[in-house]
Amino acid sequence: MAQKNAKPQDLALHVLEKLNHSKLPLPVPPITVLEELFECMFFTSMRTEESDLIKVTVTLIDPENPDPRPPKRIVAERWSSICFELPLEFTIKNLVKLSKASDPSTTSLAVYYDAQGKLSIWGMIDQAIHYHNFLNYESESGSEQPGLFQVTISDIGTLNVLFDYELLATLKQNTLVTRYLDVFTIGPVSKILKANAAHLKIDLMAFLAAMHPGEDFEDWESFINGIWIQTLSRLLLRIQNYHHGGAILITDDEQEIDIKYRIRYDRLKIAISKYAKETINNYVAENLIDGNLNGGRKVISKTSYLEESRSLYAKNEIADEIKGAISFLSSHTCVDGVLLFDRDMVSKGFGAVLKARRMPKKIFVSGTATATPKSMMPVDPNHFGTRHRSMIAYCWNYPGSLGLVISQDGDIRAFYRIDEKLIMWENIKTQQFLKSRKLKRQAATDRI
């Protein structure tokens, strides 16, 4: 869901409504405080410091009670708040200066308001890297979040508001996005990607039959689908971070495609398969050890412990290999042209030019991941830029092709032909946002 002609005040109203339904033992700030917070950050995003765009995260957190409900066990990597000797006024100038010392991937600025509603920057919060690693699928577990919520300047005129691991809203210039489409989990795009993982599933079936006949493939199928979809999400996130824009085409058809830099890179596909196998190996070894211990056995074979350690080490090694392969492929989109994959996620090359020219008279923008008829709005494809139009033409002329276009400002759009309609999805969810249990749910809506 997107609201056009929106202002920071609209973002404040939306966040206030969400916070009024929260279950946190913290006071909800008045609307005037939220308006000042978002307005100041919105205008800060339009400034530069040493020719760099401003990127910074602010956490709304009370200096008098920063940690009202600490967990019983404090993990070593948990966040901590560090106070300035004297608080600073919450101004555009101070945010710009402090942004150079507070990379949002590792740090946030601690901000709060006084009895008169005046905001100040009273310190900094560390260890944010673990939060971002989880959001970007670089870690299997997430860390607890401090304060009431976080606001991040991610681009010019772009604010993201997060509550725990839930994205409450994004103000993107004059558009307020309150719902992102989870097209990789449900709907036609999800079905395409899961079908494209067929080779991986066949490989895993054979592996289970040979090495772990007691394991049921159906118990692992959703895990495999998850790895496949997470990998594509991670690739898109890396491309977004370049702020260059780019495009990915997944197809088995090479007609009307001129590949300037032709390669065959299958390392990502192979690494995903190896990672899945070692995950299964590790799970089976752990279960065997746990079963023996729970069964009262006092002696457990050294082989079981060695296999549990070996498979965990191998799994972590391959995770690093996948990360490297994703970085390698994402950099190819910095060259003008399309990054081309077959359905098995084997790269055929980059810098590709799509030569299909026949365009549909109109395309249909879907407001839901499932592309229900009522959610679709017809749009003239000529309203889009060259990169989008070339992808629209190709996906229209070659059904079964899935196109993904990343704009310089980070917007991601997906294109796929269903029958006689070319469907476009925008405001696509790529990060690992999770519904917070601290927010009460109102009406059921299409999955974010």
Provide the pLDDT for residue 447: 38
Task: Dig out the tokens for 434 from the structure.
Answer: 């999770």
Provide the pLDDT for residue 232: 94
Task: Dig out the tokens for 147 from the structure.
Answer: 């304060």
Q: What is the pLDDT tens value at each position of the chain, 448 positions in all?
A: 678 889 999 999 999 998 988 777 788 999 999 999 999 999 999 998 888 889 999 999 999 999 888 888 888 889 999 999 999 999 999 999 999 999 998 999 999 999 999 999 999 999 988 888 888 888 777 677 899 999 999 989 999 999 888 889 999 999 999 888 899 999 999 999 999 999 999 999 999 999 999 899 998 999 999 999 999 999 999 998 888 889 999 999 899 999 999 999 999 999 999 999 999 999 999 888 877 767 666 666 778 789 999 999 999 999 999 999 999 999 999 999 999 999 999 999 999 999 999 999 999 999 999 999 999 999 999 999 999 999 999 999 999 999 999 998 888 999 999 999 999 999 898 887 666 555 554 443 333 3
- 0.75 exceeded by pTM: yes
State the helix-helix crossing angle for 218-242 and 188-196, rounded to 10 degrees: 110
Angle at 398 between CA 373 and CA 365, to 5 degrees: 30
Provide the pLDDT for residue 440: 56
Q: Where are the domains of the chain?
A: 2-177, 188-425
User: 188-425 belongs to which homologous superfamily?
Assistant: DNA integrity scanning protein, DisA, N-terminal domain (3.40.1700.10)
